[in-house]
Structure 1
Amino acid sequence: MGRARRRSAASLVFVTLVVTMAVVALLTSGLLLLEGQRAGRAEAERVTQAVAQTLAHAPDVRAALTGDGAAAARLQERAEEVMTQARVDFVTVMDAEGIRLTHRNPEEIGRLYIGTIPDRPTVLTEQFTGTLGPSLRTIVPVLSDGTVVGWVSVGVTVDTVAAALLPRLLAAVGIGAALVGAGVVGALLARRLTRRVAGDLPAGAIRDTLASAESMRTLGEALRAQTHEHGNRLHTAVALLELGRTDEAIEMLSTSARQSQSLVDRVAARSEGDATVGALLLGKTSQAAERGIELIVDVAADAPRSLLSPIDQVALVGNLLDNAVDAAAAGAEPRWVRVRLERTSGDELLIEVADSGRGIADDLRERIFQRGFSTKPTGAEGRGVGLALARSVVEELRGSLVLLDGTPTTFRVVLPTEAS
């Protein structure tokens, strides 16, 4: 059975954006609905309070409760008018004992009020289940010369509150749909732009391409520096020979050869390892020397080969060395960079790169690993993809790349091997 085709980076971008906008739309709609429900309930409470307060202070209501027969005769009619005009579900006027004098259902008049009657003359708003079902209601005392002569209860049913929420529900759904639509349009544009750059390549292939480009860049810079250094020494030796100072020319070339051979021997002494990393270290030594920095290489003979490809390992070590050299160059004397490769107790490959630079501020310790972030200005040739790529390369193998606490600034990498 053939290998399943991996999803392209453009498709991943499209799916990620659509899912993100769908989640945002759901959350936004949910928040709008919750806020609408809260606002609808608060509005219902305000209406019942306002109507109940108005009726409790109305002269005709007070007159009806204090024995005015004419006022009492038209109290039910007045309550029905208020229910229609204020759009509330019930207006119940009762005497001081709670006996109903008005009700939406005239058959309930004369019966005891179903709800909470406060022990003292105060306003109370509550949700209670009465003859019309669950409702939000406000009960207000009717006072005459400071004495409670009756109560007015005004309420709206929960069903009415829910019905008032329907327009808000439709608005929330509409906003959610608009967000999803905008997200789909944005995702389509992002997919088109990504496809122009990356075609149908999967994300892993793009990362591999970046690693390859970064490897070629750092290895090319290292070899250029080494070639430049050897060229300078060769020109100097030729000049010394022309001046007849043969011994000095031989000594200079011999010293240069011994230094390079020493590093070659340390790298070649490994029972395992990548020749490309050895070539990188040789070139970086010359590159560092051009900037007045001593590159100290400590490679254990039993340092194992990691599971990284040579391209990825050059990208990783090269980026760490480039950053360390830049940091050391900006620091005070003596300027140095130290790289160490050894086997851990768990048969993993440990790589540590330290420098004599001024260190990294605490608030930047995690930001330096973010893609696109750099503490260095971008030149005409760019800065590469740096630590973001390095961490991506390491984490893909379930290794680790961390910045150690304290000084000197030290990046530690632990990579799995075949033996780990």
Structure 2
Amino acid sequence: MVVLVTTEITDPAITADRKDPMRPARSIASRVFLVLLVAAVVLGALVAVFLVVDAQRATHAEAERVTAATAATVASSPLVVDMLGGEDRTAMSAGLEPYALDVMADAGLDFVTIMTLDGTRVTHPDLDQIGARYLGTIPDAPRPLTEVFTGTLGPSVRTIVPVIGSGGDPVGWVSSGVTIESISETLVRRLPLSVGITAGLVAFGAIGALAARRFTRRIAGDLPPGQVRDAVSSYESLRPLGDAIRAQTHEHGNRMHTAVALLELGRTDEAIDILTETSRQSQSLVDQVTARRAGDPAVGALLLGKASQAKERGIDWRVRIDPDTPRSPLSAVESVAVLGNLIDNAMDAAGEAEERWVEVTLQTAVDGGILLEVSDSGRGIPVPIREQIFVQGFSTKPADTHGRGVGLALVRSVVLGAGGTVAVSEHPTTFRVALPPTRGKAPR
């Protein structure tokens, strides 16, 4: 069974760079600044919402605690118990109204209503409401109850508590409350702290974004993302191409030294055999490269050099190039970067296997584009990391002087930027790059 993972995600940075060639592209430093600034603003907004919601919840909870504590205290007052135990409601109001007003002022509440057992008000901030029935829920059993109810003063958080007489039976009720308007005023007084925290976070984020932009500008200057990618692509193409050419030069140098030594020893036939074999091996690959009508000299040089590298490392080198393969939509630098990195990874993988081979196939795709496949005899890519290998900085290999985690990320970036796809399959491990047909695009 072949497991195939295909990446077909368009890189927005590359797309943005290529939308309008007449419009100057925003530098990568500016993009980093904008992204971090937007992130700071969004984070600040989320924190502000959280602080406001939390302050609202805390204010409401505080109102419930205060009303419950005040109602319980008033209900247990000897004055309230004695007065509600009488029969004269006018006397009750005259004795309890001043007391209720004092409690309201001390506790910062909007009302403290003392009532008889049937809910008739004995006290109220509005004297005209005394003697009327209490607006709110009166529990069926003598127990405290906290609720939000709309009464004569508007919506309020209120707690009603039973007043228990000396005989142990309820003789009345006490209700204390805070209007929602008062709670909102308390919340508004707390908002400056939330606004200050939010402003501090946004300011800190803006400073961080400025620092990030300055640091990025030191590295990338004012280059847009596309040009930064091209610069990395150039480096990543020159490195494998240079390594390949050095390997080829080293191999030919060794053979030439051997041939010269054999000639000096008078062993002419052996010298001729070595030179003939060298010419035959190189010519086979040269024939395939030059047979392609739309070939790229840089890619040909890369393949010739990689053949020498493979021989040095004891890897069986296989190349199949379809002469009818069309012109690549990639530049020479991009082509070498893609192919070079895929071959390097394949050689590293094959070098750890008992049977060592690497195969490169270049042919025409079904849609008229290019299909590039690089296979190797390595042990494969573990399933858990198969989707991570194209992530910048990720690598299963130890870092060297060139760094790790760049090659495959660059391959994906270049291929996606050209409108192609990258896929990985197993048995054997094969990286498959599909590039779209070139439509009226001159070579770069």
TM-score range, shorter chain: over 0.9
- Judged with a 3 Å threshold, the aligned counterparts in structure 2 of structure 1 residues 255 and 162 are, in CA distance, closer, same or farther, namely same
Match of 2:365 in 1: 344
Distance apart, 1:184 and its partner CA? 1.9
Structure 1 window deviating more from structure 2 (91-100 vs 163-172): it is: 163-172
Distance apart, 1:341 and its partner CA? 2.0
Distance apart, 1:403 and its partner CA? 2.9
User: Is the 1:138–1:153 Cα contact (8 Å) retained in structure 2?
Assistant: yes
Q: Which runs of 5+ in 1 are unaligned?
A: none
TM-score after normalising by structure 1: 0.92
Give, in whole Å, the separation in 1 of the partners of 2:241 and 2:405. 13
Match of 2:47 in 1: 28
Match of 2:13 in 1: none
User: Is the 1:401–1:414 Cα contact (8 Å) retained in structure 2?
Assistant: yes
**Residue 410 of structure 1: SS of its match in structure 2?**
strand
Give, in whole Å, the separation in 1 of the partners of 2:73 and 2:233. 77
Match of 1:415 in 2: 435
In the alignment, structure 1 residue 142 sits paired with structure 2 residue 142: no
User: Is the 1:134–1:158 Cα contact (8 Å) retained in structure 2?
Assistant: yes
Could you list the per-position Cα deviations for residues 22-63 of structure 1 after superposition, in whole angstroms to 9, with x for gaps in the alignment? Answer: 111111111111111111111211211222222233333222
Q: Which of the numbers 17, 29, 43 marks the counterpart of 1:10? A: 29
Match of 1:324 in 2: 346
Distance apart, 1:151 and its partner CA? 1.9
Q: Which of the numbers 319, 327, 332 marks the counterpart of 1:310? A: 332
Give, in whole Å, the separation in 1 of the partners of 2:94 and 2:238. 100
- Judged with a 3 Å threshold, the aligned counterparts in structure 2 of structure 1 residues 88 and 179 are, in CA distance, closer, same or farther, namely same
Give, in whole Å, the separation in 1 of the partners of 2:323 and 2:173. 96
- Judged with a 3 Å threshold, the aligned counterparts in structure 2 of structure 1 residues 283 and 54 are, in CA distance, closer, same or farther, namely same
Distance apart, 1:71 and its partner CA? 6.3
In the alignment, structure 1 residue 380 sits paired with structure 2 residue 401: yes
Code of the residue aligned with 1:234 in structure 2: it is M
Could you list the per-position Cα deviations for residues 380-404 of structure 1 after superposition, in whole angstroms to 9, with x for gaps in the alignment? Answer: 3444831222111112123222333
Match of 2:81 in 1: 62
**Mapping 1:16-415, distance limit 5 Å:** 16-67=35-86, 73-144=94-165, 145=167, 147-329=169-351, 331-383=352-404, 385-404=406-425, 406-415=426-435
- Judged with a 3 Å threshold, the aligned counterparts in structure 2 of structure 1 residues 52 and 403 are, in CA distance, closer, same or farther, namely farther
TM-score after normalising by structure 2: 0.88
Code of the residue aligned with 1:417 in structure 2: it is P
Calculate the aligned-residue CA RMSD, in Å.
2.3
Structure 1 window deviating more from structure 2 (264-273 vs 214-223): it is: 264-273
Give, in whole Å, the separation in 1 of the partners of 2:394 and 2:418. 23
User: Is the 2:114–2:123 Cα contact (8 Å) retained in structure 1?
Assistant: yes
Structure 1 window deviating more from structure 2 (100-109 vs 337-346): it is: 337-346
- Judged with a 3 Å threshold, the aligned counterparts in structure 2 of structure 1 residues 274 and 384 are, in CA distance, closer, same or farther, namely farther
- Judged with a 3 Å threshold, the aligned counterparts in structure 2 of structure 1 residues 123 and 268 are, in CA distance, closer, same or farther, namely farther
Give, in whole Å, the separation in 2 of the partners of 1:395 and 1:342. 19
**Residue 170 of structure 2: SS of its match in structure 1?**
strand
Question: Percent identity, aligned pairs only?
Answer: 56
**Residue 389 of structure 2: SS of its match in structure 1?**
helix
Distance apart, 1:211 and its partner CA? 0.9
Higher relative contact order (CA 8 A, sep 6+): 2
Q: Which runs of 5+ in 2 are unaligned?
A: 1-19
User: Is the 1:60–1:71 Cα contact (8 Å) retained in structure 2?
Assistant: no
- Judged with a 3 Å threshold, the aligned counterparts in structure 2 of structure 1 residues 140 and 279 are, in CA distance, closer, same or farther, namely same
Give, in whole Å, the separation in 2 of the partners of 1:53 and 1:399. 75
Code of the residue aligned with 1:122 in structure 2: it is R
Structure 1 window deviating more from structure 2 (249-258 vs 68-77): it is: 68-77
**Residue 140 of structure 1: SS of its match in structure 2?**
strand
The count of aligned residue pairs is 418
- Judged with a 3 Å threshold, the aligned counterparts in structure 2 of structure 1 residues 125 and 342 are, in CA distance, closer, same or farther, namely farther
Give, in whole Å, the separation in 2 of the partners of 1:338 and 1:119. 87
Could you list the per-position Cα deviations for residues 316-365 of structure 1 after superposition, in whole angstroms to 9, with x for gaps in the alignment? Answer: 11111112212222x22112222222222222322222222233333322
Distance apart, 1:142 and its partner CA? 2.4
User: Is the 1:306–1:349 Cα contact (8 Å) retained in structure 2?
Assistant: yes
Give, in whole Å, the separation in 2 of the partners of 1:295 and 1:127. 82
